[in-house]
Amino acid sequence: MRIVAIKETAIPLKSTLRNAVFDFSEMTTSVVAVITDVVRDGKPVAGFAFNSTGRYACGAQMRERFIPRILKAKPESLVNAAGDNLDPEKILACMMQREKPGGHTERSVAIGTIEVACWDVVAKIAGKPLHRVLAERYNSGKVLDKVACYVGGGWYEPGKGLTELQDEIRAKLDQGYTTMKIKVGGAPIPEDIARVEAALKVVSSSANLAVDANAGFDRERALGYARALAPYELRWFEEPTDPLDYALLAEVAAAYDAPIGTGENLFSTQDVQNLVRFGGLRADRDIIQIDVPQSYGIAQFSRTLDMLKRHGWRRASLFPHGGNQMTLHIVGGFGLGGCEAYPGVFGIFAGFADDARVDNGHLRLPERPGIGFEAQNALYAVMRGLSAAA
């Protein structure tokens, strides 16, 4: 068996949303199709992925380096020992040829997106949902039927005040969610505290509300928010600083007893290791939020988990960034703490299967083979068109 083509296209998000740092008006994402010569139901098996949201499309690196390396490789060098399926570990190694150590953000998103698409192929060939394939390989076969899922929302938008924020949260609770995350940092501290208090009037407990600063604070502002938010004992205070500013993050953690969430803007095992060694995080309460398709993909993520275990971190402390079908399978397959969701946000890239239902803050894992993009009609139309053009 072999990979016969890999295609990429960039899609604009066309969003008016804004967080503490930037708006999404120019944001794009790369959609990838990996097409094989394996035939199921009369059609070549194709795997799909996209590079999450919040990172721009990265097709240039794919087309110039990573796709050619895969297509030039001997087909037998990219399959498992039995020769009956792809081996994403080998495909990752192939893409990393002649890449200098470090410089992760320049390539990790492009590589991870292709790698996750290869996992979609692997699961489809095996005739299993991806979360089952991952559970068998990386979690001692422990298969879950549902995962905890919280809403990433509370964006800054034109004309959106406290009443509209509360209406947004009520709508998400009515959909079956129990935990909400809202943005902070895009307004003065008193205004954001008013937003937090308004949100708390809707959710049942401070444990059901998190806030997200999108890594936008300097020292004065980070510590100011830590002091202002401390009395509320929220579920977590997300990305108060640039996650590579380990010293400042440690200072915030020392001043803030409630949980901190961070890590979605780290793209390598080495960076995450430095985070837990030098960032002052507490393994008994804090949250790590790696975005797997943006950090070299699933095989590398398994090595990151092994490293975290050595440093005393439990899988339940990981809540990957993403809010999509890919992350849902990864959370379920590895047995992680929970998954994000973006209902009604980011157009075709938001959410899960069209018929997915949330029950008491949990989402049932899909049983369709692969990642299951085929159950997301609008997104799959783009993916199907991309694979048909191969």
Average pLDDT over residues 285-301: 97
Q: In the prediction, which pLDDT does 390 show?
A: 64
Which pTM was predicted? 0.95
Report the percentage of the chain scoring pLDDT > 70: 97
Q: In the prediction, which pLDDT does 351 show?
A: 83
pLDDT at 15 over 80: no
Q: Residues 28-79: pLDDT tens digits?
A: 889 999 999 999 999 999 999 999 777 888 999 999 999 999 999 999 999 9
Q: Looking at per-residue confidence, does 360 or 103 come out higher?
A: 360
Return the C-alpha torsion angle 365, 368, 374, 376, nearest 10: -20
Q: In the prediction, which pLDDT does 350 show?
A: 82
Q: In the prediction, which pLDDT does 21 show?
A: 67
**CB under 8 Å to 317, separation ≥6 — which residues?**
283, 286, 287, 288, 337
Q: Residues 198-256: pLDDT tens digits?
A: 999 999 899 999 999 999 899 999 999 999 999 999 999 999 999 899 999 999 999 99
Nearest residue to 197 (alpha-carbon basis) of 176, 155, 228: 228
Q: In the prediction, which pLDDT does 20 show?
A: 66
Catalytic residues: 183, 321
Q: Residues 341-365: pLDDT tens digits?
A: 998 887 888 889 999 999 999 999 9
Identify residue 213 by its one-letter amino acid code. Answer: A
Q: In the prediction, which pLDDT does 56 show?
A: 80
Q: Residues 110-134: pLDDT tens digits?
A: 999 999 999 999 999 999 999 999 9
Average pLDDT over residues 150-172: 95
Average pLDDT over residues 322-343: 95
Cβ–Cβ < 8 Å for 342, 152: yes
CATH topology for 137-376? TIM Barrel (3.20.20)
CA distances (Å), 55 to each of 15, 26, 258, 267, in order?
14, 11, 29, 12
pLDDT at 186 over 70: yes
The conformational region for residue 54 under phi > 0 = left, psi -120 to 50 = alpha, else beta, is: left
pLDDT at 278 over 70: yes
Q: Residues 65-94: pLDDT tens digits?
A: 999 999 999 999 999 999 999 999 999 999
The class of domain 3-127+378-388 in CATH terms is alpha beta
The residues that bridge with 370 in the sheet, in sequence order, are 129
Cβ–Cβ < 8 Å for 235, 208: yes
| Domain residue limits, the chain | 3-127+378-388, 137-376
**Range among 98-102, 190-194, 353-357, 377-381 with highest mean pLDDT value:** 190-194
